Each structure stands twice: as C-alpha cells, then as structure tokens.
Amino acid sequence: MRYLVEIFYSLVALPAIWIGMRLLGLWNPKMQRRLASERHALDLLASTEKLHPRIHFHAASMGELEQCVTVIEHLTNSGIALEFTVSSSSPSGYEHALRLNYITVAAYLPLDTVRGVDRFLSAARPDVIVIDRYDLWPHFIKGASDRGIPIHVINATMPSAGRSLLLRSWVRATYARVRSITAVSTHDATQLSELMRSEIQWKPDTRRDRVVLQKKNIGDQFDHLKRSGITTIVAGSTWPPDEDFLITALRELNDPTIRVIIVPHEPTEAAVSRIQGRLPSTRLSQSTSETVGHIIVDSIGKLLALYSLADAAVVGGGHGVGVHSVTEPAGYFIPIACGPRIERSNDASVLQLGLALTVVMNAKDLTEWILDVVLNTTIREIVDGELRTFILANTGASDDYAEMILRDIT
C-alpha cells in the first residue's frame, strides 16, 4: 500500500498541484508573487558564498517559525561561526523570515518534486536541516537523507496523515529517514512512538522560551496605547467566526471601559475593512497617544508585543481550522478564551483544565467569560499564578536543541 501511495503522490498529486499553481499564477497576484519569490530565492541561495557551516530551518508558517527563533539565537550566541537559511511553506512564514536579520537567505520550500528538491538542496547546501513540528515532505526528506545531511524534527507533533491507516506506513517511512525526533509533549511523544514503533523523547515547547525572551526585549513600542481605567482584550490571529462572536459580545455588554485590539490572522485590506464596517475602530497604523476605543491591526508581526497591553486574550482559529498559539498570551499570565477546536494544541488542552483558558462556543459564552473572568480581579490573580507556574517551569528546550544541532557541526 505504501508504494501505491508513493506512486499516486509522485505521478498524480504533485503534477496536478504544479499545473494548478502555474495556472493560478496567470491571473492571481498572490501566486505570481510566490512563484517569483521561489525563483529569486533559489538564485540567491545558489549565488551566496558559503563561508561557514550552514543550518537550514524549515517551518510551515509564521507560528512554527517563531518556535525556531530562540534555537537560532542560541546557536548565534554559541561562539561558533554559522550561517542560517530558512524556508517556509506559507506566505506568513516566508515574510516573517525576511524580517530576521541573522538569516542569510529566506525562501519558500519548493513543491516536493524530485527535481525541485534536488535544485533547492544544491543551491542551499545545508550541513544540518531542522524542521519544526510536522512539515516533512517525503521527497525533500529523502533527497536530504541521500546526501547524508542530518535532519532533526523539533517540537514534533503527530502529523494528520500519520493517523490514517492508509497513509501511516508511508509517513513512517519518511520519518524513519531523520536523525532525531523530539516531541513537544508527552501526548505527542506517545503518538509518535506508536507511529515509529520506537521510543520518542519530548521537550517543552520552545515557544515558551521565545515568549520569555520577547517580553524582555519588547521595550516601549506600544506604550502610547496604554490606557488607565480601561480593560483591554487582545484578539489574536482571528478569523471571521471569532470576530463575529467578539463583536456580538461587545454589543451585548455595551461597556465603554472595555477595549479590544483585533489582530486578524491575515490582516489584508479586505479583512480590516470588513471588521471596521462592523466595529467603530482605529487602524493600528493610524493610532496615536490620543486614540481611544477599539483598534484593528493592519500589518503582521505585531501580535506578541501587543499582548503586553492585554488584560485578557481571545485566540482565534478555534471555531474553524484549529486554535492558534495560546502560548504567547499565556506568557503574559492573562486569561485566555478560544473556540472548541483545541485538540491539536497541547498547551490549550492543558490550560483548559484550570481557570487560565476557557473554551467558548458562541457569543453568549464569550460575554459570560468577559463578565465572570476578565472583569473579575480575583479570578485574574488566580490565573496569573497558574500561568507563571506553567510557563516558567517549562523553559530551556531551545538551549538543548542548539547543543544537539552543534554536535552535528563540530
């Protein structure tokens, strides 16, 4: 069965995707930019002189790349001259990588064809590859493995395909080519151990290290938006269902002392305009020290710093694709609410057992959470204690990963 899946993947699925991307690129500006960026990055990788051992990090999107940042920073501070390249599968990850000043080249990972992988690896010339969470592409992994490049999977979670009886052996064959797999939780370690038929170790999420470090380095970027006598709820990585419930709850409460800062998952002009059409608000880019009322964020890369203003957080995705990271707001020791799709987030599942995280199904639940938790200073003090223990007792994995990677370099 594994070989039939491989034949279908290589000879049917990948060619269909390749054709679809090119056809879409004939009229879709977003796809046109992506294809152009792929070509540009490949040329840049090939033409950039390699002076030191090169470590390549791959992350599916911006959230996963954030998990890699503290590992890269530990490696940067190791005293060993190194180079770093980064690839991503999504625009958010690629654009975030472009903003990291210690990266030699940022790129989209090409479509997983044998030829595309060979060209990419020849251009990138990595000495070690580090992949965050689950984004392992079979031909990419095989191509790197055949070249003798060590591959490490960090913050690993069980891939969706690994749960399928049809795809399980195919996924196992891909994972078997990597040098190490380290799960992000005991639950994921158990699932991955069953998949691989061997013991898988685990370490805490490196995102916790990232949050602790970022809190120290935020500075006064958004101090002009601090307001006394106002309860601020930051709604991070929201999708339309999250925004619908939040706006309905705000109308029900009708409380001028409550301010929300909404950060759409994709802050496009259409998304920002849609929200502003329903909620009187100011765009973050136009906000000043005199701004009052609700704020809509109209650019990416601001969410973690904005949590410094929050008394509570609503994390998006839980009513659809799956909740986004709850670790960032947890690092600020504030109450969190999200939709019910939390099964793929270990942190959300753990925090739900206490008062720190509340699952809300609708606008009524969200209204009750604001009244019972967010505006209740006693409950917020309890949540603060829960989250301090949760975050601060589970840091340090980034340093461990950096040491592991350096053993393949030195």
**Two tokens at 163?**
């749960």
- Radius of gyration from C-alpha coordinates of the chain: 22
Residue 45 domain-assigned (yes or no): yes
Indicate whether 210 belongs to any domain: no
In a domain, 59, yes or no: yes
Please give the DSSP secondary-structure letter assigned to residue 1.
Answer: -
* Domain match, 354 and 223 both: yes
CA 151-152-153 angle, 5° bins = 125
Same domain, 400 and 388: no
Specify whether 154 is located in the same domain as 255. Answer: no
- Judge if pTM exceeds 0.85: no
Do residues 92 and 238 share a domain? no
pLDDT at 257: 96
State the first-to-last Cα distance of the chain, in angstroms, to the nearest integer. Answer: 41
Could you tell me the CATH number of the domain that includes residue 287? 3.40.50.2000
Residues 254 and 326 in one domain: yes
Same domain, yes or no: 192 and 241: no
Q: How many CB atoms sit inside 10 A of residue 249's CB?
A: 25
pLDDT at 219: 67
Distance CA 120, CA 137 (A): 13
Residue-number span of the structural domain to which 288 is assigned: 215-392
Model pLDDT, residue 189: 95
Does residue 142 sit in the same domain as residue 234?
no
315 within some domain: yes
> From residue 111, how far is each of 107, 114, 136, 176 by CA, in Å?
12, 9, 12, 21
β-bridge pairing 312-315 and 336-338: parallel
| Residue 109: inside a domain | yes
| Burial class of residue 341, CB neighbours in 10 A (0-12, 13-18, 19+) | middle
User: Do 190 and 238 sit in the same domain of this protein?
Assistant: no
In a domain, 209, yes or no: no
Check if the beta carbon of residue 162 is closer than 8 Å to that of residue 156. no
Q: Are residue 257 and residue 321 in the same domain, yes or no?
A: yes
- One domain, residues 340 and 259: yes
Total count of domains within the chain = 2
CATH number of the domain where residue 139 is located: 3.40.50.11720
Residue 85, CA distances (Å) to 42, 52, 130, 367 in order: 12, 12, 10, 45
Distance CA 387, CA 335 (A): 9
At 129 the three-state DSSP class reads strand
386 and 400 in a common domain = no
Same-domain status, 221 and 243: yes
Q: Which residues of the chain have a pLDDT value below 50? A: none
- What angle do the packed helices 206-217 and 397-407 form, to 10 degrees? 110
Taking only the tens place, the pLDDT of each residue in 308-337 is 999 999 999 999 989 998 999 999 999 999
Q: Which long-range contacts (CB under 8 A, 24 or more apart) does 44-52 make?
A: 44/105, 44/107, 45/85, 45/105, 45/107, 45/120, 45/123, 45/124, 45/125, 46/122, 46/123, 48/104, 48/105, 50/83, 50/125, 51/81, 51/83, 52/81, 52/82, 52/83
Q: In what order do the strands lie in the sheet with 151-156?
A: 105-108, 83-88, 54-59, 128-132, 151-156, 180-183, 201-202
